[in-house]
Structure 1
C-alpha cells in the first residue's frame, strides 16, 4: 500500500502487476544496450567486460533514480549515437585517450545540469518546435540503423560512392541479415522482444556456423577489473586535457546531441502514454531533465558514455506502465545483468574481416530495429506546413548523411529560421532559436576556429 500511494497507482489508473510487466517489457526491449555499448566502446580501446558491467550498473542506477524522482515510466542507459561519437569521432578520430573522451562526457553533463538549475534547459524544451523535436528522433534512428548495417557488413565504405552494398555471401553479413529479418518479422507480428529475438537469431547462427566463438562460461561474479572504467573520466589529468580549446566544439556538440535526443524521446513517449499535462507539456519536466543531465555526467564518470532517456521506454508504456514503479523494476533487472558478462561477450564480440575492419554482426539487428522504431515518429510531423517540413527534412537527412547528429540538428535549426523568415513570421521565432543560430555557426566552423583562433 505504501508503494501504491508513493507512485499514485490508483490515480494513474494502474496497479503493481501492470507496472511490473511494463518494467519488464522496457528492459527486454532495451537490454540490447548491454551487448551493444561494450562492442562499440571496445572498438576504441576500452575493456569490453568492464564496459559491460558499468553499462548495466549505470542503466540500473539512473533508471531507478528517474522513477523515484519523476514518477514517470522512463528508463535510461548509454545513448546509441553518443557512444558512437565518443568512440569513432573523439577517441579514434581526435586520437585522444579513452579517459579524456569520457571527461568530455562529464563536462557536457555538468553543463546540462547547470542549465537545468538555471531554468534554461526547460525553456529550450518549450522553445524548440515540436516538428523539430520529432525530426531529431527520426534522424537519430536512421543514424543508428546505418551504424547497424555497417556493423553487419551489409553496408561498407566505398572510395567512389562513399558507401555501397557489402558482400552478402560472407558469414557475418548473412547472420546479421538473418537476425534483422527475423526481428522485423517479429515486430510485424506484434511479438514482444523482437530486438532480443533478432540478436538471439544472429548469435545462434554465428555459433552454429563458426562465425562467433562460444562462451567461456554462462555467469560469473564480477572481478575488480570489471570496475576499472569507473572514475577514469573524473581524473584531474583527463578533465584538464578535455578543457582545451580544441575539444570545446566537441563538448558543445555532445551537449546538443544529448539535449535534443532527450527532448524528442521524452515528448514522444509521454505523448504515446497519454501522460502530457493539460497544457500539452511533459509533467515534472524539470526533474526529468535534471536526472537526465546528471545521468549524462554520471555515464562519463563510469566510463560508459552519456546515459540518457530511452525511447524504448515506450514499450513499457504500451504494456500499460504509467508510473515510476515500472522504472524501478527495469533498473533492478539491469543491475542483475552484471553477473552474465560471459554471455554478453559472446553477443558483442567483434569479427575481423579485413586489415582495419571489425564487424559486430550479432548486435546489428538491434541497431537496425531501433532505427525502424524511431522512424515511426515521422508520421507525427505536419508535412503540409513548410515551417515544419523544411527543418524536419534537413534534420532527418542531415543526421545520417553527415554521420553527425549535431550537424543534422544544426541544419534543421537553420532551415526553421530561414523558412519562418520567408513566410513573414519573424516575430514568432523564439529568442532561444535565434540564440542557437550563432552557436551552430560556431559548431560548423569549429575546425576553422581551432586552426585560426584557438
Structure 2
C-alpha cells in the first residue's frame, strides 16, 4: 500500500490518509440525503436513488483514487441533479429515464472530447465570463429551488412567486437550518452544509414536522437497485436526441466539464500536488474518470457524478494520495445500509393538495447556491462583451427556470455585443455554431408543429 500510493514520497502515512478520507466523506455526505429528495420530487423512487447514489459515489471515488493517486472524491453533482429533476423531467415533461439518458449522452461527449484531445479547444471557445455566469446562474437556480422546497417561497397566481408562511412548521425548520448553516460557514466550520441539514432534521423531529425512522438500518432489497440501467435504454437515448433536449445536453456538459477542471486545480493546488509546470498531475486520467462517472451516474439513475470541491476538506486534514479516496469510497458504500435514516432527512411534507416540500433538504440547496454565487466576482463587469452575456445568463437561468434557456440568451447576447463592439473576428467558430442550435431550441415547439 505504501509503495502503490507513494505515501512516503508525498510525505504522508496511512493514518493521515484515513483521516483525510473521513473528513472528505463527512463534508460531502449530505449528497446521500439531498440527491434522493431532489430526484424523488421528479418521480424517481427515493430508496433506490439513495442506494444508487451511495454506490455511484463509492465506485467512482475509489476508481479516481486508483487511477490518479489524487485525494479526489466524486458524487452526484448538486446543481445538475436539480436541473435534471426540475428543468428536464418536470419542466419538459419527459420520463425520468429520458432525463438520465441526457446525462449518459453528456458524459459520453465529454469522454470523446478528452480522448480526442479537444478539451482545450472547448475551454478556449467559451468566454470566461460565460463560464462564470453559468455557475452563478445555476447557484441562483438551486437557491430558488431550496427556498421553494423549504416553503419560504411559494407559487403565486398574481406575481408568479411570493413569500410563504414563515410561521408554518416546515418553513421555520428550513429557515433555522439555513441560518445555522450559513452561520457555520461564516465561522469557517467544516461541514456547514451537513450542519444545516442536521439542524432542520432535529428540529423537525422535535416539533413533529418530520416523522421518526421505523428502523436505523436494513439490508438493501431488490427494489433498491431499480434505477440502475434505465438511462441506457435505447428508446430513452433516442428520445433524448431531440431539438428540445440537445441544447440541454450541451449545457449540462459545459457545467460539468468546466466545474471539474476548476475543482481539480483548486484541490490539488491546496495540497501542493501540482507538477513542476504548475499543472494537475495525471489530468488526462482525471478527466477520463470524471467524464465516465458522469455517464455512469446517468446509467445508475442518480444524475451526473462529478468531482467534488469538498475533497479539499480531506486535503486540509493532510490527505495527499488516492488512498484517501479509497477510504471515502468505502464509507459511502456503507451508507447503503442506512436508508431508513436517510429517508428521515429527505421525507416530503405535504403543505397542500398538490404541493409537497422537503424542509430538511432546503438548507443544503440554499447553502450551495450561496457558495456558487461567489463566482460573480470574477466577471469583468466594466467590459460590455463580458457583462451583457453574463447578465443575461445570470437572470435567465433562474427566471426562466431553465439552465439551457439562460445559456442560450447569454450566447445571443455575446454574439450581438461582439458585433456591436466590432470584434466579430474574435468570435470562436464554436460560438457561431451555438447560435442556430439555441435558435432551434427556442423554436422547438414551432419546429415540432410545423416541420417535424
Q: Deviations over 1:351-399 (max 9, x none)?
A: 0001110000001111111111222222333334433333333322222
2:87 touches 2:401 (CA, 8 Å); kept in 1?
Answer: no
RMSD between superposed Cα atoms in Å: 2.6
Matched, 1:223 2:221: yes
- Alignment match of 1:45 (pick from 33, 43, 46): 43
Q: Distance in 2 between matches of 1:384 and 1:134?
A: 15
1:82 touches 1:254 (CA, 8 Å); kept in 2?
Answer: no
Other-structure match for 2:420? 422
Which stretch has the larger CA shift, 150-159 or 89-98?
89-98
Other-structure match for 1:163? 161
- Alignment match of 1:259 (pick from 254, 260, 281): 254
1:34 touches 1:344 (CA, 8 Å); kept in 2?
Answer: yes
Other-structure match for 2:336? 338
Matched, 1:387 2:385: yes
Q: Deviations over 1:331-354 (max 9, x none)?
A: 222111111100000000000001
Q: Deviations over 1:284-304 (max 9, x none)?
A: 443333222222221121111
1:273 touches 1:318 (CA, 8 Å); kept in 2?
Answer: no
- Alignment match of 1:193 (pick from 176, 191, 194): 191
- Alignment match of 1:114 (pick from 112, 115, 128): 112
CA 1:431–1:171: 2 relative to 1, 3 Å? same
Question: In the TM superposition, what is the alpha-carbon distance from 1:204 to its structure 2 partner?
Answer: 0.8
Other-structure match for 1:355? 353
Which stretch has the larger CA shift, 357-366 or 406-415?
406-415
Matched, 1:206 2:201: no
Q: How does 1:429-444 map to 2 (within 5 A)?
A: 429-444=427-442
Other-structure match for 2:244? 249
CA 1:78–1:18: 2 relative to 1, 3 Å? same
Question: In the TM superposition, what is the alpha-carbon distance from 1:279 to its structure 2 partner?
Answer: 6.7
Q: How does 1:1-400 map to 2 (within 5 A)?
A: 2-3=1-2, 5-8=3-6, 16-243=14-241, 245=242, 248-268=243-263, 270-271=265-266, 273-274=268-269, 282-400=280-398
Other-structure match for 1:401? 399
Q: Deviations over 1:256-279 (max 9, x none)?
A: 223323303431551465266677
Please give the secondary structure, in 2, of the residue aligned with 1:163: strand
1:183 touches 1:197 (CA, 8 Å); kept in 2?
Answer: yes
1:79 touches 1:305 (CA, 8 Å); kept in 2?
Answer: yes
Please give the secondary structure, in 1, of the residue aligned with 2:262: helix
CA 1:90–1:408: 2 relative to 1, 3 Å? closer
Q: Deviations over 1:47-85 (max 9, x none)?
A: 111110001001111122223323443322222333233
Q: Distance in 2 between matches of 1:212 and 1:70?
A: 42
Q: Distance in 2 between matches of 1:396 and 1:317?
A: 32
1:34 touches 1:52 (CA, 8 Å); kept in 2?
Answer: yes
CA 1:66–1:385: 2 relative to 1, 3 Å? farther
Q: Distance in 1 between matches of 2:418 and 2:20?
A: 41
CA 1:185–1:411: 2 relative to 1, 3 Å? same
TM score, norm. by length of structure 1: 0.89
Q: Deviations over 1:276-332 (max 9, x none)?
A: 667776554433332222222211211112222333334444545454333333222
Question: In the TM superposition, what is the alpha-carbon distance from 1:9 to its structure 2 partner?
Answer: 5.1
CA 1:413–1:238: 2 relative to 1, 3 Å? closer
Q: Distance in 2 between matches of 1:23 and 1:95?
A: 39
Unaligned stretches of 5+ residues in structure 2: none
TM score, norm. by length of structure 2: 0.90
- Alignment match of 1:445 (pick from 443, 446, 450): 443
CA 1:29–1:389: 2 relative to 1, 3 Å? farther
1:51 touches 1:229 (CA, 8 Å); kept in 2?
Answer: yes
Please give the secondary structure, in 1, of the residue aligned with 2:161: strand
CA 1:121–1:32: 2 relative to 1, 3 Å? same
2:247 touches 2:404 (CA, 8 Å); kept in 1?
Answer: no
Please give the secondary structure, in 2, of the residue aligned with 1:167: coil
1:297 touches 1:306 (CA, 8 Å); kept in 2?
Answer: yes
Please give the secondary structure, in 2, of the residue aligned with 1:190: coil
Please give the secondary structure, in 2, of the residue aligned with 1:249: coil
Q: Distance in 2 between matches of 1:250 and 1:16?
A: 46
Q: Distance in 2 between matches of 1:396 and 1:13?
A: 43
CA 1:51–1:363: 2 relative to 1, 3 Å? same
Unaligned stretches of 5+ residues in structure 1: none
